[in-house]
Structure formats: C-alpha cells, structure tokens
Amino acid sequence: MSRVELFGPAHKALRYAGTRVLVELGKCVGQLGEVARALAATRELFELQAIHQRVEDTIVIPAIEARRPGASVRLADAHADHGEVIASLRTRLMEIEERGASPEAMHALYLEVSRFIADNFLHMYEEETLAGPLLEEIYSQAELATMLARIPTVLSQAERDAFLASMLPALSHAERSHFAPAGSS
C-alpha cells in the first residue's frame, strides 16, 4: 500500500488558490473587471478554506483526539482563529462590494488577505510536518486510507467539485490520477 497523504493534496489546492488570490488582488486596483475577478477568487478561497476546515474538524481532529487526547488543541485553536479572520474578511468583501472598490479599500483588503494567507501557509506547514507524522504514528496506513475515503462523505457534490477545481491544477500528473475521473487528467 502506498503512503496515504491526508493533507498534501488539499493543501496544494489551498496554496494554489491563495497565491492566485494574492496575484489577482495585487493587480486589480482601478480595473473594474479585474476587481470583480479578484473579489470572486477571494470568496472562492474562503469557501475552500471553510470546506477544508470542516473536513479536518469532522475527521482529522477527532481521529487525533481518539488516540492522543489533547494533541490537536493547537490545530483546533488555529481553525477557530482562521474562522474568525475569514468572517471578518468576508464582511470586508461585502463592504467593498456595497461601497465600491476604492484603491485604498482594495489595498487594505490585499494586505489583510495576504496576512491571512501567510498565517494559513504556516498552519498547513505545521499540519504536514507535525500532525501528519503524528497520524502516521497512531494510525496504520489502512486506517488512514479509510479516513481519507470518508472525506467525500462529509461534502456535497458542489463542494467536492469546487475543491477539485483548485486541487487538480495544483497536483502533479501522478497525483491527479488519484482524484480525477478516468480520462480527465
């Protein structure tokens, strides 16, 4: 059995979406079409974050807690913090959409989103270098494969599609074959 990777592919999708958002927000000031595209990409990133967080909160954190009580506190706390930041950023997005995308408002959003993305990139690094090895220590590869197979069961078809749309372009060809329907990679 090959090594089961719970975090890597999803994190590649989030990194892909996050860097795309930074580029879109950074270049859009004063261009209405680009502003609309940047705001849409930012909303999509926040949706992906919410989906991913729900998966980890529903499957990964309880699995860690089941065998190492207290070991996931840092992850859960980071998720709570990210949820608060995303809620605040969503409010900022709505304000920009209602009041208009002034260069100042877009720059402030760019800075706030870049801070969130930087924090999230660090969080994902910690998950991959700390939580991933812990899961491999306390669960067999077969158990991790079962855990991975549960992920689609907590998502709607629209959520799976949204995540795959960001995940597939971020993966290597070999990695895509695990997620894409036959003939679509």
Residue 156 inside a domain? The answer is: yes
- pTM score of the predicted model: 0.89
What pLDDT, on a 0 to 100 scale, did the predictor assign at position 3?
A: 85
Rg (CA), the chain: 18
Domain holding 41, by residue range, is 8-163
Quickly count: other Cβ atoms within 10 Å of residue 112's Cβ.
15
Tell me what pLDDT residue 163 has.
86
Whether 184 is in a domain gets the answer no
Assess if residue 181 is contained within a domain.
no
The 10s digit of each residue's pLDDT in 33-80 is 789 899 999 999 999 999 999 999 999 999 999 999 999 999 999 999
Distance separating alpha carbons of residues 164 and 10, to the nearest angstrom = 9
Q: What's the CA gap between 26 and 42, in Å, rounded? A: 12
**pLDDT given for residue 181 in this prediction:** 54
CA pair distance 136, 123, nearest whole angstrom: 18
**What is the structure's pLDDT at 182?**
45
User: Could you tell me the CATH number of the domain that includes residue 38?
Assistant: 1.20.120
**Residue 170 maps to a domain:** no
Report if residue 177 sits inside a domain.
Answer: no
The mean pLDDT values, 10 residues at a time, for the chain of 185 residues are 85 95 87 86 95 95 97 95 96 92 90 97 96 96 95 92 88 74 47
- Counted domains in the chain: 1
Give a yes or no: residue 179 inside a domain.
Answer: no
Structural domain contains residue 17: yes
pLDDT at 53: 95
Q: Please check whether residue 173 lies inside any domain of the structure.
A: no
- Answer yes or no: are the C-beta atoms of 123 and 83 closer than 8 Å: no
